[in-house]
Structure 1
Amino acid sequence: MTRNIALSLGMLVFCALMYWETFNFPEASRFRAGPEVFPRFILLIIAGLSAILLIRSLVTERHGLKNVEFDFRVFAREYWLVIALFALFGVYVVALTVVGFVPATLVFLMAGQIMIARRTDAKTLGIAAAVTIFATLSISYIFSQVLRIWLP
């Protein structure tokens, strides 16, 4: 059994257990989605991707196709931006509890847009600042005033 098969089977078991646990969430209302909807959605996506990995691994193993070995140096070189954005997101999650939603989100969105755009000319920075301010204040208003959900 290859690592991919073991990983995909483990993830499928994990998703099944976590999906089962979502039935223990408190029920919100018969007429609107409750707190279990988002975790179930994410778990179904993860389970689907795990199933795809399992099928690919079984087909690869069955037909004797060569499995390509993973090289972290090549991965880091090709996907450095993805790794950096995940790291930025980790800092954002910590900053949420330290400085609050609005300042943390302003910095996170601005930094993320600059990293993705890879340009720092005045036009790009102006557009990024406008999108950052509009998105942060809109999300803050919608959650606090419309949905009445407290943000840190």
Structure 2
Amino acid sequence: MIRARQDLYVAIFLLMFCSIMIWASYDIRDLGYPGLKPETWPRFLLILLSGLSALYLIKSVKALKIEKVSSEGAVSHIGFWSKYQNAVWCFALFFLFLLSLDYIGMLLGGMLFVFALLTVLGEFTKKNIILHLIVSVISVGIMWLIFTYSLRVHLPAGEIFAVWQV
């Protein structure tokens, strides 16, 4: 019952947050650059997040109705590490990624971050490591190409690749 209530509160908070941010997106100044208006992507993402939050709210309301309180009402005790292990790994690896961004750049750093995250969170077998390597190279490579050449975003090159940007 506690979990369903927490989900309900989080869903309501997310919907309120999205509403405020959508309202605030109307204050984004248009600087007159050609192409999409500056508020287009924030609004698109906020509307998408609002839709997902609404689905989360519906799911949590249904779970609140279905879930029954156990007769003992006891909550099982799980250790901090076993309960939050994946989240701690994600934050730790992301922190290392941010620290290394100036030195190895977005392309190589992103590939290493995705590979490390997949390897830590997934199974540690030879087949999966090869799959993690392929997924990290392709996904980060495609994302880097899109941001660099299609959207003209200047991503950090790092000191390793700075020689090619003369």
TM value normalised by structure 2: 0.60
Tell me the amino acid that sits aligned with residue 22 of structure 2: Y
Q: Would you say 1:105 and 2:105 are equivalent positions? A: no
Q: Would you say 1:141 and 2:145 are equivalent positions? A: yes
Tell me the amino acid that sits aligned with residue 139 of structure 1: M
Q: For 1:7 and 1:129, how far apart are their aligned partners in 2?
A: 35
Corresponding residue to 1:46 among 49, 53, 57: 53
What is the alpha-carbon root mean square deviation over aligned residues?
3.7
Q: For 1:16 and 1:134, how far apart are their aligned partners in 2?
A: 35
Residue 126 of structure 1 aligns to a residue whose secondary structure is: helix
Identity %: 15
* Partners of 1:144 and 1:150 within 8 A in 2: yes
Match of 1:19 in 2: 22
Number of aligned positions between the proteins: 143
* Partners of 1:102 and 1:140 within 8 A in 2: yes
Sort the Cα spacing of 1:144 and 1:12 in 2 relative to 1 into closer, same or farther, 3 A: closer
C-alpha deviation, 1:144, in angstroms: 0.8
Question: Residues 93-151 of structure 1, C-alpha deviation per residue, up to 9 Å, x if partnerless?
Answer: 63475443113202111112222442242x44334323322333222122111221222
**Gap runs ≥5 in structure 2:** 157-166
Q: For 1:34 and 1:93, how far apart are their aligned partners in 2?
A: 29
Match of 1:34 in 2: 40
Question: Residues 31-56 of structure 1, C-alpha deviation per residue, up to 9 Å, x if partnerless?
Answer: xx922211321233124313432454
Sort the Cα spacing of 1:51 and 1:69 in 2 relative to 1 into closer, same or farther, 3 A: farther
* Partners of 1:22 and 1:40 within 8 A in 2: no
**Gap runs ≥5 in structure 1:** none
Match of 1:94 in 2: 98
The one of the two structures with greater contact order (alpha-carbon pairs below 8 A, sep at least 6) is 2
Tell me the amino acid that sits aligned with residue 151 of structure 1: L
Q: For 2:9 and 2:138, how far apart are their aligned partners in 1?
A: 45
C-alpha deviation, 1:85, in angstroms: 4.8
Match of 1:73 in 2: 78
